[in-house]
A and B are shown apart, each in its own frame.
Chain A
Amino acid sequence: MDNKKQKLVIIIIAAVFFISAAVSAYMLLSDKGDTVEIISGGKVLYTIDISREPDREIVVEYKGRKNVIAIKDHEIYMKEAECPDHTCIKTGKLSKSGVPIVCLPNKLIIKYSDNGSEGDVDAAA
């Protein structure tokens, strides 16, 4: 067995691991804006300023399957979902960490808008 090649592979894998760890940490720590997007089937359905939005519920339908998104006290979460896994409900409230709420079966994503965070940086500067 070629030892040099083995080492190279290990180094590459380690590099990928640590880079993604760094990127994850960066995403977790970076402050997003207040703009939340609700994307269904690749299209942005709603753009919401979460800091100003009153409490309400939004129903999004995909191929006859419903998702109920709730906004409460300026936080957004998936309240009900007609899908097999309910991962999106277990994700809980959308955190500022950059981890979006995703419902894969119903192709629904709730996330902080990328533009929002850029705008925020500008405002801070």
Chain B
Amino acid sequence: MPQRKESPTQRLTRLALLTALALIIFVVELQIPDIVPIPGVKLGLANIITVYAVYHYRAGEAFMILLVRILLASVYSGNISALIFSLSGGVLCLLGMVCIKRIIDEDHIWVSSVAGAMLHNIGQIFAAVAVMGTWTVFGYLPFLLVSGGIAGTFTGLSAQAVIKRMNKKNKPTDSN
């Protein structure tokens, strides 16, 4: 989506705002108890911000939001050991969504979200295989893909709802 001309400061502010939003969403999600006690199964609500950023900002900028969010999130959650899994999953997810963006338009953003969530799970599993030094954990993949598919649909639909409202709000005044 080509945006109106923005000053670098405006851009920086928007990116910082999105990162902060992603972190808030992440912290709120931390309070939700695990539904399924399988490592890697979660809603991943912060993905809403990632999909939005992929469609509204340059790939590099979306990547910066993702990176800062993951690094700070692992500090907030106190679970640094999970960092490598979030990183590998997040990067693969972002790469996939940047590619899929060329095919899927913004009206079907939930499809990108699902693909991204599944790619996130695939990245996580490969990180787990590397860390654990065994292919055993690969057996988790089908479970993760199912949960990722459901979670991705949910976050994608949320993103779609948010974008719809923002477009409505931005249209009449066009001030921000």
Contacts and interface: CB of A to CB of B under 8 A. Distances in A.
Interface of A: 1-2, 5-6, 9-10, 13, 16-17, 19-21, 23-24, 27, 39, 41-42, 83-85, 87, 90-92, 98-100, 102, 104-105, 107, 109, 111
Nearest to A91: B37
A109 B132 contact: yes
A17 B149 contact: yes
Interface of B: 34, 37-39, 78-82, 85, 100, 103-105, 108, 111, 114-115, 118, 128, 131-134, 136-137, 139-143, 145-146, 149
From DSSP, what is the main secondary structure of chain B's interface residues?
helix
Given A9-B115, A84-B81, A20 B103 contact: no
A17 B145 contact: yes
A118 B132 CA distance: 24
Nearest to B122: A16
Contact of A91 (B38, B134, B143): B38
A66 to B, nearest CB: 16
Given A9-B104, A42-B132, 10 more contacts: A1-B103, A17-B149, A84-B79, A85-B39, A100-B139, A100-B140, A105-B81, A107-B133, A109-B134, A109-B136
A13 B146 CA distance: 11
Nearest to A102: B39
Q: 5 nearest interchain CB pairs?
A: A42-B133, A20-B145, A20-B142, A90-B37, A23-B142
A92 B133 contact: no
B103 to A, nearest CB: 5
12 contacts: A1-B103, A16-B145, A21-B142, A21-B146, A27-B139, A39-B136, A84-B79, A85-B79, A87-B34, A98-B139, A100-B140, A104-B82
Given A16-B145, A90-B37, A85 B82 contact: yes
A20 B132 contact: no
A7 to B, nearest CB: 10
**Which has the most chain A C-beta neighbours within 10 Å: B79, B132, B140?**
B132
A47 B38 CA distance: 23
Given A20-B142, A91-B37, A13 B115 contact: yes
A42 to B, nearest CB: 3
